Amino acid sequence: MSLQLLIVGGGIGGLAAALALGRGGHRVDVLEQAARFEEFGAGIQLGPNVVRRLRALGVEPALQDVAARPTRLSVRSVQGGDELARMVFDAARVRRYGAPYLCVHRADLHAVLLGALKAQGPSRLSLHTGARVSRIATRGGEAVCAAADDTRAWEADGLVGADGLWGATRARVIEHDAPPHRTGHTAWRALLAQAALPQALRSDRIQIWLGARVHVVAYPVRAGDFLNVVVLAEAAPPEGAGLDARGWDQEASLDTLRQATRQAGAGLRALLDAVPAWRAWTLHDRPPLQGPAQMAQARIALLGDAAHPMLPYLAQGAGMAIEDAATLAEVLAGVDAGQLPAAFAQYAAQRWARNARVQARARRNARIFHATGLLRWGRDWAMRLGGARVLDVPWLYAG
């Protein structure tokens, strides 16, 4: 049984869905507003739960070529730099979760997915760029789903909204939906060539420094050749500087970054000072999903950030989009056009609670990572005592 499907959005979630659905024998049109299929930004971490799904999509060998395989996760304090806890990524851990933990530049992951998609051939896939979908409709007693931009229109049996935090599809699934809210948190990201760094700053591990209302993450990407550094702070440049952080006056943004990291001890300070240029992102959020109806409605399903954006404090936003894609392909196997609404409902029923749990955990991590006072004291004590047990998330990585 082969369906005709539209996917709005060609980010990591949209491409993973196209790949999974194409492998399932369905015919897919991917509609991407940008002029080219490409990803910007910096690194992303992929837990074993995500790497297993990517393996099932047949892209693990290509991913291993471009990813870095960190040796361990090491958590330190921003001020003193002393290690609070560590989790070693050893063979036993790979056996337990069935896959390694990887770090990859998002452009590399996007390119791996795109390459695998193109290899499927044109009979199952059409990629449309410059296609900013602004109108979505269901017609003919819901038998046809249509999307249109200013000049073109497409029809299919069903539509998957993978159009991210600000996408157009969500409004077709959730009535009276509020817009994403500003969290007041900002992420500054940078990429450093390891070869250009002093030996002491080069790293083959994921490092996290926890401070008051701020934390810093660094990990290798691009087969270990680059170090991805991210500062995440409960701080934002002054109001009126614009909603999109990329449009900010860089000096205003950098002043805020300097303020947020002024507590950094010598080791971390040296790393931050080695960064030649930062890019800033304002972090927006939505409340965790409350039920399956927020992920699918009749012939329209939502996937990834379009359905469940999350703070990057559990490093699983793209991961959940990839998990969504895998489940979507599973529930659509052997389904005909008449059964599609029921299959989308089944997809939503299978995915919403896990996505909501990950969203909630990411929010909780924000409070723990940025703790001050007694909560901070309790966190540090628990980390020193519990070590890897506190850092591991078995329900997530084994799920």
Ligand X SMILES: Cc1cc2nc3c(=O)[nH]c(=O)nc-3n(C[C@H](O)[C@H](O)[C@H](O)COP(=O)(O)OP(=O)(O)OC[C@H]3O[C@@H](n4cnc5c(N)ncnc54)[C@H](O)[C@@H]3O)c2cc1C
Comparison of 157 and 305: residue with beta carbon closer to ligand X: 305
Q: Which residues bind ligand X (CB under 6 A)?
A: 8-14, 31-34, 44-45, 131-133, 162-165, 167-168, 187, 189, 230, 281, 304-306, 312, 315-319, 321
Comparison of 24 and 167: residue with beta carbon closer to ligand X: 167
E runs forming strands in 198-243 = 206-211, 214-221, 226-233
Q: Any catalytic annotation for residue 101?
A: no
CB of 216 to ligand X, least distance (A): 12
Comparison of 337 and 360: residue with beta carbon closer to ligand X: 360
CB of 23 to ligand X, least distance (A): 18
CB of 266 to ligand X, least distance (A): 25
Residues 6+ apart with CB under 8 A from 231: 187, 188, 214, 215, 216, 257, 260, 261, 272, 278
Q: State the Cα–Cα distance between residues 33 and 74, nearest whole angstrom.
A: 39
Q: State the Cα–Cα distance between residues 327 and 344, nearest whole angstrom.
A: 10
The catalytic position among 101, 219, 313, 347 is 219
Comparison of 168 and 268: residue with beta carbon closer to ligand X: 168
Contacts 24+ apart (CB under 8 A), 149-157: 149/31, 149/33, 152/128, 154/6, 154/29, 154/31, 154/128, 155/4, 156/3, 156/4, 156/5, 156/6, 156/29, 157/3, 157/4, 157/5, 157/299, 157/337, 157/340
CB of 30 to ligand X, least distance (A): 9
**Active-site amino acid positions:** 219
